Structure 1
Amino acid sequence: MRIKASESLLLVIDIQSRMLPAINQGQEVLAQAIWMVDVAQAIGIPVLATEQYPKGLGHTDSNLLSRIPEQLIMEKIHFSAVIGENLLNIPFSERRQWVIVGTEAHVCVQQTALDLLANGREVFIVDEAVGSRHPRDKALALQRLQQNGAEIVSREMVAFEWLEEANTPLFRDVLKRFIR
């Protein structure tokens, strides 16, 4: 299935200041997540974010925090953002397609994605914008998520599907600013 701009949102899971240094290639995951947020906002895609126990793990990285409205960042204590805090009751959560970036791929990303799938949502995991402390955990999480119905995608796959067509002012703007 294709990702439709009018039916999707971007979910940033737990890219937090104290956890990020422990993530394998954490700065690259952060850079890719920032790119996804910037592209989503340029196209008009809603962006939501979660923070896992911010008292212990710190808040969302400041580079992301400055891009996402505070009311669209949800604090959580469960690994899955769907359980307990119920991600499905906040603005834009009625959208059926969820594009996910964040950490850790094998914990919060995976559990949230599995619960979204169980709740009838279509889930797309942006490969280069998710991470774990250990590469094997990320690889196994992506494999398991795919086996359970999530699609593993690249950032450009998402961007071009959101755009749908060339030769529009929006396409030219996104191409110039983000796809070189």
Structure 2
Amino acid sequence: MIIDMQERLVPAMQAPARTIRNTRTLLSSAHELGIPVIMTEQYPAGLGHTVPELTGRPDTITLEKMHFSCMEDETFAETLARLGRKQVVLAGMEAHICVVQTAASMIERNYDVFVVSDATASRTLDSEKACIARLGASGAAIVTTEMVVFEWLGKAGTPAFKKLLPLIK
């Protein structure tokens, strides 16, 4: 799940290039391995749409929202439930607002939540750190892009491994 990586938000974030690069790696890996992706856009009329670097995959579900917690949006919650997954890997912006509220709501609803720390950002480093600390203490697993990709792959030497390896090197 990719939360609100939008045109008017990205430039204001800490390490935007790193965050976008790692998110692209997650998206490419999910696409290659058949893992469903939901992408959200918070009030796109004001914040713009998802940055072009992360769009263009026909298998990605993109949903607009107004709530900070995606789980408070009925369309999002129903879409997530229809996917039938109990584990959610989260990346997005802003960490201390939409990411933390979404993750907390998912944990309350018994989802296993994995927050990708190097693909999640806020305007300030203090806000990012506070989000990660709060979610780690609340039961979310704090992971990195490489951790996620290698867990999804499971083993070396497969065609998917060979295709995705250049993205992680």
Q: Is the 8 A contact 2:36 2:59 kept in 1?
A: no
Q: Is the 8 A contact 1:26 1:131 kept in 2?
A: yes
Could you state the TM-score of these two structures normalised by the residue count of structure 1? 0.88
Q: Deviations over 1:152-175 (max 9, x none)?
A: 001111111111122322222222
Secondary structure of 1:87's partner? helix
Q: Is the 8 A contact 1:124 1:150 kept in 2?
A: yes
Q: Note closer, same or farther for the CA distance 1:31–1:88 as it changes in structure 2 (3 Å cut).
A: same
Of 83, 89, 97 in structure 1, the residue corresponding to residue 72 of structure 2 is: 83
1:137 alignment partner AA: S
Aligned-pair Cα RMSD in Å:
1.5
Secondary structure of 1:82's partner? helix
Q: Which residue of 2 aligns with 1:154?
A: 144
- 1:48 and 2:38 matched: yes
1:24 alignment partner AA: Q
| Sequence identity percentage | 39
Return the alpha-carbon distance in structure 2 between the equivalents of residues 122 and 81 of structure 1: 15
Q: Is the 8 A contact 1:76 1:85 kept in 2?
A: no
Q: Is the 8 A contact 1:82 1:116 kept in 2?
A: yes
Q: Which residue of 2 aligns with 1:13?
A: 3
Q: Deviations over 1:115-139 (max 9, x none)?
A: 0111110000111100000000000
Could you state the TM-score of these two structures normalised by the residue count of structure 2? 0.93
Q: Which residue of 2 aligns with 1:142?
A: 132
- Higher-helix-fraction structure: 2
Of 88, 93, 97 in structure 2, the residue corresponding to residue 98 of structure 1 is: 88
Q: How many positions carry a matched residue from both structures?
A: 168
Residue segments in structure 1 that go unaligned for 5+ positions in a row? 1-10
TM superposition shift of 1:26: 1.5
Q: Which residue of 2 aligns with 1:132?
A: 122
Q: Which residue of 2 aligns with 1:30?
A: 20
Q: Note closer, same or farther for the CA distance 1:22–1:68 as it changes in structure 2 (3 Å cut).
A: farther
Residue segments in structure 2 that go unaligned for 5+ positions in a row? none
Q: Deviations over 1:79-120 (max 9, x none)?
A: 001003342211654201100111000000000000011111
- 1:174 and 2:164 matched: yes
2:63 alignment partner AA: M
